[in-house]
């Protein structure tokens, strides 16, 4: 294959992936196509029991997220709440996602000028314990709450719309949800789901390889129901 045809093929695949028309399933390939920058908010689907339950209850493919930060040697890492808030190498984060599916989002103007401060505010929560109860507190944080808290610390604005657990799709999975909470479900508790954070007006989608399997894309990226449904 000539160099010209090879370049044309690579460009064509990149365009298709950016449009969500093909599924890229290797972390190296994903990172070769996605333009990931410090301050980007990355979303994925983790394929474990809790992750599948989040997908089912929120009618979404998204069940986890993190924010891109510089690593100790200047490499790209993802700050995430998986247990204590910690930095994970970017490639490791991408490879963990189901099918290495990734949604890359970026802060819109006027917040882009504050990205460095937002990143640092999130880094200040490094080591904070994980919030298994999804309670509104900065003492313990879950994945979306980490990013929203860092954003609010800098801008004074809320990030993403919180929703009551009671309006989510919990009824078909009541036994599993009760088991997760260890009893009564806090139906009035407001939470920030990955899907709702991804739909926040302050951020925009810049790249994804998670749309190829969806029949259509709606405003909230919810086109199916159940585990692994829509975005």
Burial of 133-170, coded b for 16+ CB within 10 Å and e otherwise, reads ebeeeeebbbbbbbbbbbbebbbeeebbebbebeebeb
Q: What is the pLDDT of residue 2?
A: 56
Q: Which of 101, 128, 105 is nearest to 209 (CA)?
A: 101
Q: What is the pLDDT of residue 17?
A: 45
Q: What is the pLDDT of residue 6?
A: 46
Q: Do the beta carbons of residue 78 and residue 88 sit within 8 Å?
A: yes
* Domains of the chain listed by start with CATH number: 3-208 (3.90.1720.10)
pTM above 0.75, yes or no: yes
Q: What is the pLDDT of residue 29?
A: 87
Residues 6 or more apart whose Cβ sits within 8 Å of residue 227: 52, 55, 56
Q: What is the pLDDT of residue 33?
A: 85
pLDDT in tens, the chain (231 residues): 555 554 544 444 444 444 444 444 588 888 888 899 999 999 999 999 999 999 999 999 999 999 999 999 999 999 999 999 999 999 999 999 999 999 999 999 999 999 999 999 999 999 999 999 999 999 999 999 999 999 999 999 999 999 999 999 999 999 999 999 999 999 999 999 999 999 999 999 999 998 654 323 233 333 233 333 333
Pairing of β 103-107 and β 85-89: unpaired
């Amino acid at each position: 294959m000539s160099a010209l045809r090879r370049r044309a093929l690579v460009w064509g695949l990149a365009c298709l992936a950016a449009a969500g028309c093909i599924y890229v399933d290797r972390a190296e390939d994903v990172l070769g196509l996605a333009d990931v920058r410090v301050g980007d908010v990355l979303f994925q689907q983790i394929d474990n029991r809790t992750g599948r339950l989040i997908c089912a209850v929120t009618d979404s493919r998204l069940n986890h997220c993190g924010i891109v930060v510089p690593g100790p040697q200047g490499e790209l890492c993802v700050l995430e709440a998986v247990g204590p808030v910690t930095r994970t190498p970017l490639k490791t984060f991408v490879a963990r996602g189901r099918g290495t599916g990734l949604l890359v989002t970026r802060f819109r103007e006027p917040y882009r000028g504050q990205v460095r401060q937002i990143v640092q505010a999130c880094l200040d929560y490094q080591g904070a314990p994980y919030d298994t109860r999804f309670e509104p507190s900065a003492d313990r944080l879950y994945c979306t709450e980490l990013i929203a808290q860092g954003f609010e610390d800098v801008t004074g604005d809320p990030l993403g719309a919180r929703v009551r657990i009671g309006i989510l799709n919990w009824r078909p999975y009541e036994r599993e949800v009760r088991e997760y909470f260890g009893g009564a479900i806090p139906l009035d508790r407001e939470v920030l789901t990955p899907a709702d954070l991804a739909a926040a007006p302050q951020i925009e989608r810049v790249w994804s390889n998670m749309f190829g399997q969806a029949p259509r894309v709606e405003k909230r990226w919810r086109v199916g129901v159940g585990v692994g449904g829509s975005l």
